Amino acid sequence: MTGGDTQFKSITCPYCSAEYKVPKTVYYATCPYCGTTFKLDSPEEKIEHFLFKISYDESDAYRKAKSFAQLLVGAAKDLEFGASFKKAELYYLPIYIYEIRVEAYCEDLSDVDTSRGSKFISVGGGEDVKYYVVPAVENPPIPIPEDYLFPARMKEYFKPSILEKGMYLQPELNPMEYYEIYRSKSIGEAMEEAKISCPNSSISLKDESRYVGIHHYPFWDIIYQYRGGEYRAVVDGADGTIVYLEYPLDWSRGLPAALGLFLADISTGLLTWAASQIFQSYNPSISFLLGLISFAPGLTYGLTKLIGGKEIYRYRQSEEESFLPIR
Amino acid sequence: MSREFRCSRCNSPLDVTPDTIVIVCRYCGQLNWIRKDLKFDVYITPTKSIEDARRILKHRIGGRRISRELLLYLPFYLVDVTCDVDYEGDFIVTVVKEKVRRRDGETIIETETRYIPVHVKGRLEGERSKIPVVARKGVGGSMIRHLGSHLIGSDIEPIEIKDFELDRKTSKSILGAELDSKEAIDIAIDEHLDNLRTYVKRLMEDEARAEASVYGTPTIVNTQRLRITPLNIEANTSPLTYYPIYVFNYGGRGEYKAYVTGWDLYPILLEEPMPIWSRLAWILGGILGSTALSTIFLFIASRIESVFQLLGAGVLFLIPAGYISFYSVKKALRPVRVESG
């Protein structure tokens, strides 16, 4: 089964019998001829394998990244016309999906009826029901936030033709390792809840967790140029979310904002000094200094975003709506 | 593995995806049910036209150009969960009492700290909530959350999907349902009970605090033993129902996103440019917040002598003062402002 290249091994598709090579590190392989995805050490075990549909093509993604950069404070003003496209690569990132469903019952008290559309439990214990979405490669070639969720968008069946369109990444990580981590975490939470629910009762566990399958998710990795420098943008191909963006800073746009923040810091110092005089609470110079220090975290954060030649924007799911755009 | 589907009338190939539940043949117009299990007892909410949705959006965005439009029908279950909660617990409540004494014509204030053991016991009945569960695996985020909340408060009359007039475009806007009703019920029960446990724990602490307040002013509540038992959990779900939502991208310099519900044309989420006054208002809020907390710290620091008390006051007031400045500057520098309906 081992091919000539030590990094790869030859395998045979259990569905169409085609022979092809895959990296030795992968756990699941997708046949480039018929599209069947199967487990390498157990080829009869086929799994659910879908793709998210691309709604943003190369030029949409580049235009979106450029227009988004213009919303960032301190970014170069002439990016719209001053930036030029250099190259774009489409990555299909493999993602494992796990369904975790754990219920911990107060053993001698529980009575469950799971008839359709209705559920009645006389005494509950603890429970945890979640879906986990985890990148299936150890070091993704594109920077993807850890808490990234799927958008509600269309999916499609895996087609061998996509292998020609972009970088199709094979899942490298053992899906069962992550599965065990999440499963144990949820069991722990459910048991903890059950102990609070019935501290004096023994607890029984019902575990219906399972590994659901693989989805491949499209991301555009774009390089663009601006005044001799190169900048990178990673754009979600399904819903256009800007996941990662390097952008040039323009000191003439960032400087007024930076000066404004310095002014805000000094104002905090002066106001604290004035208040300490009114309440006769402390030494004036210490009060002023304390005011400056209390605004220092804001000033430091602002300066890191406004000063320098280049800044990086990163999407975080947890900051959606509060600090970042919606998806 | 890709699968091939063909029209039941003319045998032409159908462009079926994993989301397809029903598809209209592009050659003969025949309605083909791919997910026959979803043909019955599945409902859909008719949408108003995209022209109407555009008009509503234009009211909010003025002359800015709409660059992209998308209609999606999202599958939801609305799960009604009710339960009772029986609870009891032991707490130690720290109370502080000030005593005023006069000695040699001078007023002396003495502070007495006591630790009061309190036992709390009670039962809540019929704790109910309606929880929207999106029938897609691993999907989340602001839009789903806001759409779910809006669904709960809306007066909607969905119709059975088999009675709905489906055209080719509409059938392609429907996202497949990936969860069944049992899975949706389990998710809703988990959410309801998690919220209830947090609520009951807070309620018990409040009751302990109230009981101890006869001995002085309660400060800290320490939990010694806790039992929160959910009882008589009952959950009922609506049938799987599809709700339409329009996704718009619009803008001029820079691009923004908006979500408008299809049945009542309500803009549940709308990105807008960050105006300069909003940025300045956040900075001003940061200045005032940091100043207020620093001043309180200074006021307290001038009246205490112990180093430990000084450190405690620093943790209580100076760290939040720094966080307020960081938070307000981060808010001021964000790329867009999001309005939620």
A63-96 pLDDT, tens digit per residue, is 999 999 999 999 998 888 899 999 999 999 999 8
For A38, name the nearest residue in chain B, comparing CA atoms only.
B1
Long-range contacts at A257-261 (CB < 8 A, ≥ 24 apart): A257/A73, A257/A74, A257/A302, A257/A306, A257/B333, A258/A302, A258/A303, A258/A306, A258/A307, A260/B283, A261/A298, A261/A299, A261/A302, A261/A303, A261/A306, A261/B283, A261/B329
CA distance B244 to B35: 19
Give the pTM.
0.86
Buried b (16+ CB within 10 A) or exposed e, B188-227: bbbbbbeebbeebbebbbebbbebbeebbebeebeeeebb
Q: Is A123 close to B321, i.e. CB distance below 8 A?
A: no
In the numeric block, the tokens 């369904």 are attached to: A99
Question: How far is B75 from chain A, CA to nearest CA, in Å?
Answer: 10
* Beta bridge mates, A291: none
Name the token pair of A30: 């997708």
Runs of H (alpha helix) within B120-231: 142-153, 168-173, 181-212
Across B115-122, average pLDDT: 95
Q: Is A324 close to B295, i.e. CB distance below 8 A?
A: no
Question: How far is B35 from chain A, CA to nearest CA, in Å?
Answer: 15
Q: Is the pLDDT of residue A119 over 80?
A: no
What band does B128 get if pLDDT is binned at 50, 70 and 90?
very high
pLDDT of A281:
66
Share above pLDDT 70 across residues of chain B, in percent, rounded to a whole number = 98
Q: In terms of pLDDT, which residue wins out, A296 or B32?
A: A296
Instruction: Report whether B148 contacts B139 (CB < 8 A).
Output: no
From the list A55, A68, A127, the residue facing B255 with the nearest CB is A68
pLDDT of A122:
45
Residue A240 in contact with partner chain B when CB distance is under 8 A: yes
DSSP A1-25: -B-SSTTEEEEE-TTT--EEEEETT
CB neighbours of A188 closer than 8 A, spacing ≥ 6?
none
From the list B230, B287, B322, the residue facing A271 with the nearest CB is B287
Q: Which residues of B touch A123 (CB under 8 A)?
A: 229-231
Question: How far is B259 from chain A, CA to nearest CA, in Å?
Answer: 10
B284-313 pLDDT, tens digit per residue, is 999 999 999 999 988 888 777 778 878 888
Instruction: Report whether A66 contacts A224 (CB < 8 A).
Output: yes
Q: Is B293 close to A294, i.e. CB distance below 8 A?
A: yes
pLDDT of A244:
96
Which of the residues A36, A271, A294 would you substitute to probe the B interface, choosing the one with the greatest number of B C-beta atoms within 10 Å?
A294
Name the token pair of A43: 């080829």
Q: Is B197 close to A133, i.e. CB distance below 8 A?
A: no
| A215 secondary structure, DSSP code | E
Residue A290 in contact with partner chain B when CB distance is under 8 A: yes
Question: Which residues 230-269 in chain B show a CB within 8 A of chain A?
Answer: 230-237, 249, 251, 253-257, 259, 269
From the list A46, A117, A124, the residue facing B236 with the nearest CB is A117
CA distance A21 to A10: 4
* C-alpha distances out from residue B327 to A27, A55, A196, A253, A260, Å: 44, 34, 36, 22, 16
CA distance B134 to B323: 35
Instruction: Report whether B318 contacts A296 (CB < 8 A).
Output: no
| B38 secondary structure, DSSP code | G
**Strands B22-24 and B13-14, how do they pair?**
unpaired
pLDDT of B33:
79
**Strands A242-248 and A42-46, how do they pair?**
unpaired
Using alpha carbons only, give the angle A86, A75, A68 rounded to the nearest 5 degrees: 65
pLDDT of A120:
45
Question: Which residues 59-88 in chain A show a CB within 8 A of chain B?
Answer: 64, 67-68, 70-73, 80
Write down the ipTM of this complex. 0.84
